[in-house]
Structure 1
């Protein structure tokens, strides 16, 4: 079995090498604090080499036979299957993900690789008519060139691959910077997968470093023409600003504060199950997690009783234990932020009907009732196993409460009248919403993205193909053209 935990160096121009920064970063297990590995961070010189390497090989890759390109992604898919347990192991140790979370994430990666493998055969162009006699207009779909990808710590394997695989499959080069807390799962493991799959050396480069070492250099660098970022809204806004100044295309998948709505005619047991899954999967560290449960007053008491009962059964602790549902948050800073928000909720009058203890980085579930839309906990993104339940009396309040948030990523509505649910969904300011399901959904061929503070752009399927390609117009004048000044 491959030991991915040994991959704690940079991957630049097809070579594994130490970073040239003076900064050493410890990669720690978030559950027990053990150091998985220490690595020398990348410097601006390393970043330059990475972008230059990708730029050098990209045009050759773009001309490669699409059948050959597709084979790389098929090989990557098989490599992951062959090394499944090793990948599960590193997800548990580096991210603090449970076995359930690891299996879920690997499945998402496999799906996006399958979708990306179709891209080389989908680089279609067109021939368009012209108002000028004898002119042939050819429009070619072409790669943008080199794409810079910055990924987060929560689902780093998938959220890196979600941009890396489609960008490569569309003929681009890629430089990937994973989060400093997940350099292996979000970065070097992906480099190893594609190296083993036969991707040309230099096309994909991975740098592991702190932003303090490279500043805005990753975005400002003259080589990348597009930047794909997944992470916090605050950082995303800054990246969007820097990219805009440098006329780079930007794709931002940012924070969320999703609402799961339970109407009076809902299947309550189904809604409870969906609500628990949507909030507590991976400790609530998912941008699509249901931070807010908006429940009609007619079923409020029944829903709360059943919801609290199910949440109280969730096991917390060591993610290596297959029975564990809730493991650790990624680091102490996230724990401190969570505790502060919990205290703020209590101070503002929310009632914690469940309030578990905090042990190390493990935060046990907190369920708030008596939450109103003006409270801080109803408007902030909780990246933790904390949920707010809100009571409404009609559809107008549902829409008002749901749209109060500055975010708009995902959502869900539970009702036996699916057309009523669909009409309400149209009124919600969110990029994605699911009827009689949870808020956590991501399918490789369906547009994924948010509104408002939840991001800009869409990925997956044809939307990823559009994101990482552009169009070139080449016209051919077959007949001699007359010009007014000739």
Structure 2
């Protein structure tokens, strides 16, 4: 059984496990439930990061010409490693992220799905498209090539899956990756993935995992001259900065950012089923998922019944140690995040917004808070809460519910509940978000769908086959088989 905390609490550079150069700056990785020290990490330096990019650029020259068979063999072994060590990975992911065992298992399963899906598009580099020419004797061919070196940056909430959905397609399509996980979840978001690639026999330098803080390396993960694309999942504020820096350096980006996701209950919805879905979609992982429900918008005819039943269910959710199989509400990732949410709650109270359910703080745990009769224009309703706090908003009509849903700078995901599926799909198309789910909640992901958001929720799409365009470039080759007469 692998001991990740003891053996892999290091950066993985050029195929070797290496302590960071900044000896004076060790960082403890904590269990957010009780602040237990899981392991300590010595931070990598700016020079180590720069060296990793040089190594990645050199390694990519050979990896770009690897065969589909070679890459499939690697990814088969990767999937094997995840299956063989799944139980231990679930424990690590739960302890590091503060997520329940159910959430951790879901994350590992999604990661394995991403790996398996790569087999369906690895041969994209071998496909050549011929296009007719208006010039006599000319043949046009379009080739697909790897981009080169990819910079990958992932968040704390679903670190393994949100890392792998960039890393796996990038490497499967002939690129190399320098990856920086959020340091709070260094094992789940970085070291476990590096260990799996090491087990699979991936050539040195094709994947490298750097354990450090942004304060030590500045904008190097966006500015380094060899980077061709920056793949980032995280907050909209950081995403804007990455987009600005990358754009200034003419680098491509794939950004999956924040959300203010509406869950809409139309006039003809079945209240009990809508409540079931809303409870899961709001409180999975304590609401710390970009896809989680942020606003519940209910038709006025169902508002009282829905709100009453939702609050009663929220009151009953068990909370505590996330490694207890019965726990639904575990801790927030750290005290800073908890303090931020508490400020939002206090401001909402000062603004006179009514509480239907007042939660409480227990260590780093926050039990559910439900605000009712919320004005959609309020600061509360317009903020991404990333916590077990939710706004319930009353809509006058079904059309009004859609207007309220769209009144936000975000556009990641959404949900519509109705007894008329055709109407639900039609209303879903009216919502300005990258994804809408009819008679389901907002937290859905799969390796074979176009995952991504509109507006300030990001740009680009993950998932097969759309991800192919993100991590490759097109090359036009024309061959003049017959001598061409020129006008001068």
Q: TM-score range by the shorter chain?
A: over 0.9
In the TM superposition, what is the alpha-carbon distance from 1:209 to its structure 2 partner?
A: 0.8
Contact 2:230 2:253 in 1 (8 A): yes
Work out the CA distance in 2 between the residues paired with 1:208 and 1:84: 23
2:176 to 173, 178, 181: 173
Name the SS for the 1:293 alignment partner: strand
Match in the other structure for 1:106: 108
Name the SS for the 1:190 alignment partner: helix
2:97 to 95, 98, 113: 95
In the TM superposition, what is the alpha-carbon distance from 1:347 to its structure 2 partner?
A: 1.6
Contact 1:283 1:327 in 2 (8 A): yes
In the TM superposition, what is the alpha-carbon distance from 1:396 to its structure 2 partner?
A: 2.7
Contact 1:92 1:319 in 2 (8 A): yes
2:232 to 225, 229, 234: 229
Deviations 1:67-119 (A, max 9, x none): 12112112111111110111011011111111110111111111111112322
Work out the CA distance in 2 between the residues paired with 1:33 and 1:415: 43
Work out the CA distance in 1 between the residues paired with 2:134 and 2:408: 49
Contact 1:349 1:370 in 2 (8 A): no
Work out the CA distance in 2 between the residues paired with 1:367 and 1:253: 27
Contact 2:414 2:433 in 1 (8 A): yes
More off after superposition, 59-68 vs 162-171? 59-68
In the TM superposition, what is the alpha-carbon distance from 1:286 to its structure 2 partner?
A: 0.3
Contact 1:137 1:476 in 2 (8 A): yes
Contact 2:246 2:252 in 1 (8 A): yes
Work out the CA distance in 2 between the residues paired with 1:309 and 1:78: 43
Deviations 1:179-212 (A, max 9, x none): 1211111011100011111211110001111111
Work out the CA distance in 1 between the residues paired with 2:418 and 2:353: 27
Contact 1:9 1:17 in 2 (8 A): yes
Work out the CA distance in 2 between the residues paired with 1:483 and 1:360: 79
Match in the other structure for 1:38: 40
Deviations 1:320-355 (A, max 9, x none): 111001111111110001001111111222222212
More off after superposition, 159-168 vs 134-143? 134-143
In the TM superposition, what is the alpha-carbon distance from 1:365 to its structure 2 partner?
A: 0.7
RMSD: 1.1
Match in the other structure for 1:369: 372
Deviations 1:147-177 (A, max 9, x none): 1000000000100001000110011000100
More off after superposition, 238-247 vs 23-32? 23-32
Name the SS for the 1:256 alignment partner: coil
Work out the CA distance in 2 between the residues paired with 1:70 and 1:402: 43
1:60 to 59, 62, 73: 62
In the TM superposition, what is the alpha-carbon distance from 1:444 to its structure 2 partner?
A: 0.8
Name the SS for the 1:388 alignment partner: strand
Match in the other structure for 1:82: 84
Work out the CA distance in 2 between the residues paired with 1:223 and 1:41: 22
Mapped pair 1:422 → 2:425: yes
Match in the other structure for 1:340: 343
- What is the number of equivalent residue pairs in this alignment? 485
Work out the CA distance in 1 between the residues paired with 2:427 and 2:231: 31
Work out the CA distance in 1 between the residues paired with 2:131 and 2:20: 49
Name the SS for the 1:38 alignment partner: strand
Mapped pair 1:15 → 2:28: no
Deviations 1:238-288 (A, max 9, x none): 000000000000011000010000112112121111101110000100001
Work out the CA distance in 2 between the residues paired with 1:157 and 1:412: 25
State the TM-score, normalized to the length of structure 1.
0.98
Mapped pair 1:469 → 2:472: yes
Mapped pair 1:290 → 2:289: no
Mapped pair 1:5 → 2:8: no
Work out the CA distance in 2 between the residues paired with 1:321 and 1:96: 11
Work out the CA distance in 1 between the residues paired with 2:259 and 2:353: 21
More off after superposition, 457-466 vs 277-286? 457-466
Contact 1:219 1:239 in 2 (8 A): yes
Contact 2:154 2:163 in 1 (8 A): yes
Contact 1:106 1:158 in 2 (8 A): yes
Structure 1 alignment gaps of length 5 or more: none
Deviations 1:115-146 (A, max 9, x none): 12322223322111212221111111111011
Match in the other structure for 2:276: 273
Mapped pair 1:72 → 2:74: yes
Structure 2 alignment gaps of length 5 or more: none
Contact 2:45 2:212 in 1 (8 A): yes
In the TM superposition, what is the alpha-carbon distance from 1:306 to its structure 2 partner?
A: 1.4
Contact 2:267 2:397 in 1 (8 A): no
Deviations 1:279-322 (A, max 9, x none): 00001000011011001111111111211121111111101111
Name the SS for the 1:322 alignment partner: coil
Deviations 1:37-74 (A, max 9, x none): 11111111111111111111112112111012112112
Deviations 1:434-461 (A, max 9, x none): 1001100111111011111111111111
Match in the other structure for 1:327: 330
Work out the CA distance in 1 between the residues paired with 2:129 and 2:414: 38
Match in the other structure for 1:349: 352
Match in the other structure for 1:121: 123
More off after superposition, 426-435 vs 149-158? 426-435
Work out the CA distance in 1 between the residues paired with 2:159 and 2:128: 33
Deviations 1:394-422 (A, max 9, x none): 02311221111111100000001112112
